[in-house]
């Protein structure tokens, strides 16, 4: 029924009182429509208040709360311990721990999860289905689709050789005339990548194949980031068969990144501020040692578990007991704890 005049409802001093009725439909189907009456003879102020109240009610009934913002999706390289790796379906390591601390402090809802292989993860950042990476090296191609944070941890690029076969090499040209190997898809910075491509004989293969080629004498050296060199030498039981040249080839830095298609891109200044605080407190170096120890403990536990014979079990236990002084920690201290000039120039690893 539309708004209109109703039948007179009362008499006063012989005159009919008129009243105005308005129907307001309710939102739910089971509610009845209600009629609101007010006296036409009441003051204009009352009528105005009634209209305002009616409009407010209509607005409130039609209001729909805005949908909550989707959580920020965080991922990383599943095979890059101790910086980041996948363990029992979760990402752990220096990067995940640092990002978790930062986002929780900023009160940003997020989901930290594996995203497939490293190649698949990078593709997901390109298309925006992953918002943030816990760690990535900087290069021109990646900058087209990602925004980089300040660097938070240095990663020396080392030259790995067979034990007892070190050679003098204080500059990149010291590698000319020798055969080398590196991990498939690896980047060592635009400048060194270009030098390798134009001047050096380097074959790109998987980490296990690279160590196998070095052991067989097929190549003279490996070009590797320090952390994978430490980790894979343990995994492949080659730790006592290799050495690192004293001078790193170059140095790279780990950054957090955000996809340029992410609605969370605006967070980068706040993330950078938190990174600066953590660097001043020395937290990244501390986390690196802690996460390496965590990975190494898991590795040794698995090593003991798979030692089936009594002899192997005893040897594994001996290795476990000897872990008080770990070569991986020594190598990290050797390259990380002190400033080391590297081959590409006189700069030190800041």
Distance, in Å, from the CA atom of 113 to the CA atom of 136, rounded to the nearest integer, reads 16
Using CB atoms within 10 Å of the CB of residue 163, give its burial: 0 to 12 exposed, 13 to 18 middle, 19+ buried. exposed
Residues 121 and 159 in one domain: no
- pLDDT recorded at residue 186: 82
Range of 51's domain? 4-62
- pLDDT recorded at residue 302: 61
Residue with tokens 């409802």: 9
Residues 178 and 229 in one domain: yes
pTM of whole model > 0.75? no
pLDDT digits (tens, 9 = 90+) for 239-286: 889 999 999 999 999 999 999 999 999 999 999 999 999 999 999 989
The residue-averaged pLDDT of 90-106 equals 96
pLDDT digits (tens, 9 = 90+) for 186-195: 888 889 999 9
Distance, in Å, from the CA atom of 278 to the CA atom of 257, rounded to the nearest integer, reads 17
Residues 186 and 258 in one domain: no
Residues 209 and 317 in one domain: yes
Residues 85 and 54 in one domain: no
Domain total for the chain?
3
Residue 301 lies in a domain: no
- pLDDT recorded at residue 18: 42
Residues 147 and 269 in one domain: yes
């Amino acid at each position: 029924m539309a708004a209109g005049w109703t039948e007179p409802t009362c008499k006063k001093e012989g005159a009919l009182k008129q009243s105005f009725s308005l129907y307001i439909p309710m939102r739910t189907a089971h509610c009845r429509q209600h009629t609101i009456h007010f006296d036409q003879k009441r003051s204009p102020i009352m009528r105005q208040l009634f209209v305002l109240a009616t409009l407010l009610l209509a607005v409130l009934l039609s209001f729909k709360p805005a949908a909550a913002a989707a959580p920020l999706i965080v991922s990383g390289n599943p095979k890059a311990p101790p910086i980041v790796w996948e363990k029992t379906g979760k990402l752990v390591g220096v990067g995940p721990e640092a990002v978790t601390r930062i986002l929780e402090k900023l009160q940003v809802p997020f989901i930290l999860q594996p995203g497939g292989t490293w190649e698949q993860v990078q593709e997901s950042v390109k298309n925006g289905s992953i918002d943030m990476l816990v760690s990535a090296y900087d290069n021109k191609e990646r900058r087209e689709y990602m925004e980089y944070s300040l660097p938070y941890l240095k990663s020396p690029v080392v030259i790995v050789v067979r034990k007892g076969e070190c050679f003098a090499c204080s500059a990149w040209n010291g590698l000319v005339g020798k055969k080398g190997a590196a991990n498939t898809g690896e980047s060592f910075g635009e400048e060194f990548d270009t030098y390798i491509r134009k001047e050096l004989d380097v074959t790109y293969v998987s980490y296990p194949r690279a160590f196998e080629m070095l052991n067989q004498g097929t190549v003279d050296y490996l070009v590797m980031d320090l952390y994978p060199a430490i980790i894979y030498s343990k995994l492949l039981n080659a730790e006592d068969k290799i050495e690192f040249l004293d001078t790193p080839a170059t140095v790279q830095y780990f950054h957090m990144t955000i996809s340029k298609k992410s609605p969370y891109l605006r967070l980068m200044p706040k993330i950078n501020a938190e990174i600066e605080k953590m660097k001043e407190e020395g937290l990244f170096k501390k986390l690196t040692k802690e996460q390496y120890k965590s990975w190494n403990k898991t590795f040794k536990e698995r090593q003991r578990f798979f030692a089936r014979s009594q002899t192997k079990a005893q040897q594994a236990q001996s290795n476990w007991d000897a872990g008080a002084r770990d070569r991986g920690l020594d190598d990290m201290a050797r390259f990380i704890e002190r400033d080391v000039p590297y081959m590409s120039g006189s700069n030190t690893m800041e």
